Each structure stands twice: as C-alpha cells, then as structure tokens.
A and B are shown apart, each in its own frame.
Chain A
C-alpha cells in the first residue's frame, strides 16, 4: 500500500486535566471511507477537529502526505468539514454559501458562480440556488453543506455527525447519497458518528473510540464478528458476553469453564494460560435455538423470558443457569416450529468459530 494520507503518531489532546484523545496511532488511507464511532465525550469529534486544525495536539504528530500539520492553521488546510450544526451562513443564499470557500481562495466571481451552480445541480438542489438558506428544508440544507465543502475539491472530506438532525427516512436516503459520492469522487471521507448503523452501512473501516482511546479499528464485519474487547462487544450490542476461566486449549480452540458449563472459543493471537479469567462474545444472530440438544460444539439450556419484534426480526431474551442472560436474534420465519411461550426451556447452540475471546481492558 502507498503512503497513508494522514498519520497520527502518539497524538494526545488535553483540555486542562481532561484527556480527550490519548496516545492515538492511526493511519487514514487515500480513498477510504473511515468512520470514527463512539459515545459522546469519547474523543471522536476532537480527533476530527484536530484534522481540520481547529484544535492543536498537545503531544505527538499529525502528518498529512508527510507534512507535519500540528500547528498549521485551519485556513491553510485542505480539509473542509461538514458540521453537525451544518454551520451554513444564514445571511447568504444557497449559492453564496457554496461560493464562500472559493471566494476566500480568491476565485473570480464568474468562475465561482459556475462551479457553485455545478455542484448545486449535482446535489439536485439547483432550483434553490438563490434561496436564503434559512428557508430550506433539513435535507436541502444538508446538500448545500455538502456542496459547500465538495466545491473545494478536497482530497479528504470531514463529516461531523452530519445526519444527526435528519429524520430516519432521510438518513437512509442521505447515506446512499454519501456512499455514492465517495465512490464517484474517490476521495477520503472521515465520518464521525455515534450511530452504528450509519458507520456500518457506509464505512470501509470503522474506528471505535472509548474515553480517548481507540478500542478497535477494522472493517465493519471484523468489528461485528470478532470484537477485540469487552467494550467493543458491549458497544456493538447484540453480543452475548460470557465470562469464565481458561481450562486449556490448542490452535483449534480454547476450553473455558463458565457457570453455564464448559465452552470452546476461537483461540486468540496472544495465548492464554490455564486458570486465567477471560470473557468471550457470541453474536446474537449466530446462536441457534432448538427444543432438543443441538449438535454444535457449544450448547446451553435457557428459559425464555420475552421477545421483541422489529419488523420480521425477532430478539428473544433468555435466562440460563446462574442468572446469565442470552440474546438471540433471528428471522421470525425461522421460529415457526418452536413453542415460544415464556417459561419454555430451549437449547442454544453455537460453533467455536463464532465465539471470540475478548482482551481485557
């Protein structure tokens, strides 16, 4: 792979005593759609603001295409940002908003207008070019904000929770618009969000942050199937997390003793000594449910407590021995043959490959 577009080397950002970003090491590659995800206060927005030059790191180095960027002022960068608040200039029309950056860069009026109209057209809001932005709808404003940044023809576009103010239907539509744009333009998108569905739906790679640290970096599938640690497993949700002690194991699997019985999980890269406490996660949609004992490597009995429908998808909540809770997620069709009255005892089953051991911390 070629040199990364952006490198973070041991970057730290403090606000007084508060550490917003701690010892961050991260590469951002050309042309990728990178999502940075986490709950509020995890440092994701601070990371984005450092990319835009709105905050300077207190330690470490940020380089873009090899150039040290720590103290480069915001206006000397090529990192347009789509703001959570959109930050459209309320006293300007849609077209004037889009022209703003070009004007700052000294582009002539005619050229500015042509390029702005071009982008408004591309975003399908050319009809509203001369309207005051205050009179536009949420989705239209969103498109103006995108056009305003993209007209600068940047190598990298920063997006700070740009869809958080939109209603659910529009979010899905805009997700489509964004992924299509990113593919067409072939530029890097760095997308900050607290929403898993947005990150997983659009991004090539996802960075999950927690309290200033990177918890995991990987493709959506990696993160989903093999969460690296307890935080990610819990954050991603839908995971059943079981704890126990290592009995032993080989390259094919680790045996772990839990109050539910002994289970086999995937062997992690760093070996674990027998007797060590350990947790592992099994995704809710990888569990099977049956009335009789299944022939999978791992099986456990549990009592049905309740069920929850979202469309045709059902989540079942069960209680195993020792009060252990299980979540199972499947299509409603797959449940036809089962007796699902609360109190029924059912068998759960899963393969060793679907149980990934979580690193502590």
Chain B
C-alpha cells in the first residue's frame, strides 16, 4: 500500500479517535481549575474555587468516607470470592462446573440498571437495603468476575507441578495453599484488589438504587449533575479520576513487574 501517505492519514485518524476518548477527561480537568460557572472557551481565570468548595462541604467528605469504606470492603470480598473460584477452576474438574463458573461470571453481562432494580427489590425484601452493606454486597457480586479473571490468568502461568511439589515435600493441602498458591498469586491478588476497588469506587447505578441515604461519591456527582451545571463536578471528577487511575496504574505496575521478575 502507499506506505507513507496512508500512514499519515491513519495516524491522524487514530489521533482523532483518542481525542474523542480523552476530550471529556481533559476538559473536566481543565474546567475544574476554571473560574467560569458555565465553562467554555476562551477560558476564564485560573481558580481553585471549586476545590475549595468541595473541600469545605461536609456532605462530600461523608461521601468520600463512604466510598472508601465501600470500595475497600468490596475489593476484599470480591477478591476473596474471585480467588476461590479461580482456584477451584484451576484445580478441580467436576460435574456442573459450567453452571458453577456461570454463576460467578454472569453478573457483568446484565445491564447495571437491571441489577440495580433487582438488588433494590431483593435487599429491601431481606431488610438489608439502605445501608452501606447493601452497596458492598451488590458490588462484590458485580466485581468478583474481574477478580476471578485476573487471578485465573496468574494461576494459568503457574507450573501445575508446583502445588504437588509442596505436597511431595510434606505439606498438607492447606500448607500448600498458604505457602505456594497464595504467594504465587500475590501480584494478581494485589492487582485484583486495586481494580475491583476502582470499579466499585466509580459505580453509581446500583449504588444509587440500594444506598438509601448513604451516598457515595458517584451518587453525589449524580445528584449535583441532576440539579444544574456546577463545575464542582469537575473538581470531584478530577479527584475521582486520580484515585481510580492511581489504583489502576498500581495494579498494572504490580502485575506486570512481578511477571517480568518471575520470567527472567
């Protein structure tokens, strides 16, 4: 093909796609430091007004606190669930393994709005709705498949003899789990904790339905957005973005660097 010309056209095209994808993130960041109430270009003055506003808002602090509790607890629960499933899939073959795996892997394929309604109805029936725990339970179901996928991937890289080697050297199954499987999976476990925390931190549909009065950060955003144009959202968004990205990057770095280390 006409190499150079085509490459330039394609390069510009790819750049346009990336612009589309990153424009909202970029403008959110820029406008969070912009003095205008209704931001547009040309930009207004540089201002930290919106940050000052959110930092002095006790509701937002409460939401942050809630979000941290929800996302860390969710991460721990989902990673535990994901680990158990990944290990079972790695180690055992049994009848109904297909349905067993479907049971944990299916939730993300159902639209969040439907899960939100179902969770709301069910949890209020059980008398569990309207608490932070409600969000945690729902989120653990939604994020466990991601944990399962990450840890399963790691187990796939493990020499299948490793566990048997531990038994062979006198370790019980429990000891082999503690001294071989868990240490081997540790990078994936940490990655999984970061990623599930990040997903939970951003999830709003289900959280909004089941949370009652316990707002998390995305619910606060949702409520502000519903009201009016308010650049506070950009400031909160930037904060949320930084949190999520640090978690994702941490997960990547840990997972990839460990892989390089154990493969060199």
Listed in ascending order, the chain A residues whose CB lies under 8 Å from chain B are: 52-54, 73-75, 79-81, 83-85, 87, 89-91, 100-101, 103-105, 132, 134-135, 148-149, 152
Pick from B115-123, B126-134, B256-264 the stretch touching chain A.
B256-264
Please indicate the chain B residues that have their CB under 8 angstroms from the CB of A90 in the complex: 184, 262
Interface centre among B164, B170, B171, B180 (most CB of A within 10 A): B170
Those 8 A-B pairs whose CB atoms lie nearest each other, nearest first: A101-B169, A87-B165, A87-B161, A74-B167, A104-B170, A104-B171, A90-B262, A75-B167
Q: How far is the CA of A152 from the CA of B184 in the complex (A)?
A: 23
A104 touches B166 (CB 8 A): yes
With A81-B168, A148-B169, A152-B169 in contact, do A103 and B262 touch (Cβ < 8 Å)?
Answer: no
Among A80, A84, A103, the residue within 8 A (CB) of B168 is A80
User: Known contacts A85-B159, A104-B175: does B168 contact A134 (CB below 8 Å)?
Assistant: no
User: In the complex, A175 Cα to B257 Cα: how many Å?
Assistant: 37
B97 CB-CB contact with A under 8 Å: no
- Report which residue of A54, A74, A134 has the largest number of chain B beta carbons within 10 angstroms of its beta carbon: A74
| A89: chain B residues within 8 A (beta carbon) | 162, 165-166, 180, 183-184
A53 to chain B: which residues have CB within 8 Å? 167
Specify the main secondary structure of chain B where it touches its partner: helix
Sample 26 A-B pairs with CB under 8 A, ordered by A number.
Answer: A52-B168, A54-B168, A74-B164, A74-B167, A74-B168, A75-B167, A75-B168, A75-B172, A75-B173, A79-B168, A81-B165, A81-B168, A83-B161, A85-B159, A89-B162, A89-B165, A90-B184, A91-B184, A91-B186, A100-B166, A101-B169, A104-B166, A104-B169, A134-B264, A148-B169, A152-B170
- A134 and B186 CA atoms in complex are apart in Å by 17
CA distance A149 to B169 in the complex (A): 7
Specify which chain B residues have a CB less than 8 angstroms from the CB of A148 in the assembled complex: 169
- Which A residue's beta carbon lies closest to that of B162? A87
Confirm or deny: B179 has a beta carbon within 8 angstroms of a beta carbon on chain A: yes
CA distance A54 to B183 in the complex (A): 22
Number of chain B residues close to chain A: CB under 8 A: 23
In the assembly, what is the distance between CA of A83 and CA of B167, in Å?
A: 13
CB distance from A95 to the nearest CB of B (A): 15
The complex places the Cα of A143 from the Cα of B242 at a distance, in Å, of 48
Partner of A91, one of B161, B166, B169, B183: B183
* Chain A contacts for B261, CB-based, 8 A: 132, 134
A85 to chain B, nearest CB (A): 5
Closest to A135 in B: B264
Q: B186 to chain A: which residues have CB within 8 Å?
A: 91
Picked from B159, B161, B179, B184, the residue with its CB within 8 Å of the CB of A100 is B179
The answer to whether A134 touches B166 (Cβ under 8 A) is no
Asked whether B263 lies within 8 Å of A134 as measured between CB atoms, the reply is: yes
Chain B contacts for A134, CB-based, 8 A = 261-264
Instruction: List B contacts of A100 (CB < 8 A).
Output: 166, 169, 171, 179
Chain A residues, Cβ within 8 Å of B179: 100, 103-104
Contact A75/B180 with A85-B159, A85-B161, A135-B264 known, Cβ cut-off 8 Å: no
> Contact string, B162-202, partner A, CB cutoff 8 A, digits 1/0?
10111111111101000110011010000000000000000
Residues of A within 8 A of B165 (CB): 81, 83, 87, 89
Chain A residues with Cβ below 8 Å from B172 are 75, 104
B124-159: CB near A (< 8 Å → 1, else 0) gives 000000000000000000000000000000000001
With both beta carbons as reference points, the residue of chain A lying nearest to B264 in the complex is identified as: A134
Report the minimum CB–CB distance from B75 to chain A (whole Å). 22
Min CB distance B130 to A, Å, is 44
Smallest CB–CB gap between A82 and chain B, Å?
A: 10
Q: In the complex, which residues of chain A have a beta carbon less than 8 angstroms from the beta carbon of B184? A: 89-91
Q: How far is the CA of A103 from the CA of B172 in the complex (A)?
A: 12
* Bound-state Cα–Cα, A126 to B167, Å: 26
Min CB gap A148→B, angstroms? 7
Distance in angstroms between the alpha carbons of A105 and B179 in the assembled complex: 13
Residue of A nearest to B184 (CB): A91
Report the minimal beta-carbon distance from B94 to chain A, rounded to whole angstroms.
15
Q: CB-CB < 8 A to A75: which residues of B?
A: 167-173, 175
